[in-house]
Structure 1
């Protein structure tokens, strides 16, 4: 990695941080943006993936810790001390999410980014290819019409060994149209995303009000141009961590959380529709239909899931999910009994 001349380690109000204004300008190509909270068991993997990148350009690591209580901040300080010209943390002393702030990256990381491009990676995920940044930058530099470069990921389920399962949206490297980005059948690994910083310099309302950040980011990319998918698993996506969004969603009134999420995402899609002047209106409405269908799957409203009008979305589900839906609806008493036996084991 090229040497970078910067400074770190100041205090500012309720957070320990280094802001973009406190660092002199330099030729940064990529700003790595990472958010974390109570991920002491995982954050070293993420940080090692950052510092071990082999590039012919300069990059920076902007990391935001939301007042972790498990030692995550201490690990970040350790790495910031070891790499003062590379890692620039914001270490909160008061949890921002609990105050209602959901747009952490847009509030604390994007504004201080200096790179031409931004690469995303949350604190419980990590990169496994030390040429990841170089490969993505090489493609984006050679193809200015491309607004997003992403790749596949291996999936690690918490409490279990690394499986052979991959988060692989497409089979084979290929161009992805704006319509496919908006209305996709499977998610893109957040730790794989690289896009132009200029797109998040002035975030629109639909992004700021979204319950999650990765999908509105992808919509901004779709509005700018097409994407390139690299069919290489260059990161690991950890599923089911204690502080992960997925795990937190399952706590409390799950059905209400799912419905609130669907309502918020529907508003986000319609906000994007207005933002993009209706260029993708039909695609947006189809994406909303898919979102509504998946909410019904998650909350087991199978009477709606199995309706004829949802047949195309039902066919997109994997074979295992379709099997269990059919099993539960055709033999509910046997299904419930087997579930009880499984949980007792």
Structure 2
């Protein structure tokens, strides 16, 4: 970690947290362990946590003045309708040339992560999104599902691939020039998730690069996370609303990019719809030949259980209760 307070800030770490008391120390320590030849700042937005996360942030702020810069809300902003906290509160105060993303329940593994990604973007100024693979950690499970690995081998990612990708990117892997989020488009504000519109902006401004190295950890199943909250209540309705909102986002994005990425956008929208059908087990649509491309993108494990649930629902229910604990 560089330690000259008078140096220009190269990187702003963007961390959004809510009730991450059990995880936030690991996240902050993983940022602070970075070995760099430049200065960086750590911007943390705490959305009025009730579990003591704010106290931990104040502790780090005192220990690392000018380095750890928390913004601790007294009222939960997400509940007020602000979906994309980063764009509303952290991006405007970022001083770095680059922004690195990592939520408070995730963490970085490699102490060289920041330097590697900055070095690439510095030598390739047209690169507007730099990512890598991530290690998946299932909270409360003894085993993980391996890596979040969208590609095999280091490689350039075209704008079309960023928009129309069969596998997601770990937010904890994302880095990009801060200039691309200085003036956020309408589709960013409309989007129900924060990482997707950033990737869309990056695709409209340049291209991506992928390091095939797990330099961060991605936790799945954290209580209170966007994914877990989405499974509460009327799940089918929430999935429908999610698709409708994403459909609007893709329409706005197509307008903003002048139709340049239209085919990729259409496919991405179709995939989003298909995944909502998978999530709500609409078998007529899941097995519709029109969506064969997206069915084949599902993991073998997911396809196996879809077929079992569809063909032998009684057996599937028994096995799920007895072994899967889902």
TM-score tier by shorter-chain length is over 0.9
Provide the C-alpha distance between the structure 1 equivalents of 2:325 and 2:211, rounded to a whole number of angstroms.
43
**Alignment correspondent of 2:36:** 55
- CA change 1:171–1:343 in 2 (3 A) is closer
Provide the C-alpha distance between the structure 2 equivalents of 1:42 and 1:228, rounded to a whole number of angstroms.
28
The answer to whether the 8 Å contact 1:173/1:230 transfers is yes
**Alignment correspondent of 1:203:** 184
**Alignment correspondent of 1:187:** 168
The answer to whether the 8 Å contact 1:155/1:162 transfers is no
One of 148, 161, 175 as aligned partner of 1:167: 148
Deviations 1:109-151 (A, max 9, x none): 0000011100000000000111110000000001111111000
Q: How much does 1:269 deviate? A: 1.1
Matches within 5 A, 1:19-168: 27-161=8-142, 163=144, 165-168=146-149
1:230 has 2:211 as partner: yes
The answer to whether the 8 Å contact 2:98/2:177 transfers is yes
Matches within 5 A, 1:307-318: 307-318=288-299
One of 232, 249, 252 as aligned partner of 2:233: 252
Deviations 1:279-313 (A, max 9, x none): 11111011111111111000000111101111111
RMSD: 1.5
Provide the C-alpha distance between the structure 1 equivalents of 2:138 and 2:209, rounded to a whole number of angstroms.
27
Structure 2 unmatched ranges of 5 or more: none
Deviations 1:66-96 (A, max 9, x none): 0100010111111111100201110011111
Provide the C-alpha distance between the structure 1 equivalents of 2:156 and 2:226, rounded to a whole number of angstroms.
29
Provide the C-alpha distance between the structure 2 equivalents of 1:146 and 1:344, rounded to a whole number of angstroms.
43
Does the residue aligned with 2:132 lie in a helix, a strand or coil? strand
Q: How much does 1:335 deviate? A: 2.0
1:284 has 2:228 as partner: no
Q: How much does 1:333 deviate? A: 2.4
The answer to whether the 8 Å contact 2:2/2:35 transfers is no
Does the residue aligned with 1:309 lie in a helix, a strand or coil? helix
- CA change 1:231–1:179 in 2 (3 A) is same
The answer to whether the 8 Å contact 1:35/1:121 transfers is yes
Q: TM-score, normalising length from structure 1? A: 0.92
- Give the number of aligned pairs: 326
Matches within 5 A, 1:291-330: 291-330=272-311
Provide the C-alpha distance between the structure 1 equivalents of 2:289 and 2:247, rounded to a whole number of angstroms.
22
Structure 1 unmatched ranges of 5 or more: 7-25
- CA change 1:103–1:4 in 2 (3 A) is farther
Matches within 5 A, 1:255-274: 255-274=236-255
Provide the C-alpha distance between the structure 2 equivalents of 1:152 and 1:343, rounded to a whole number of angstroms.
27
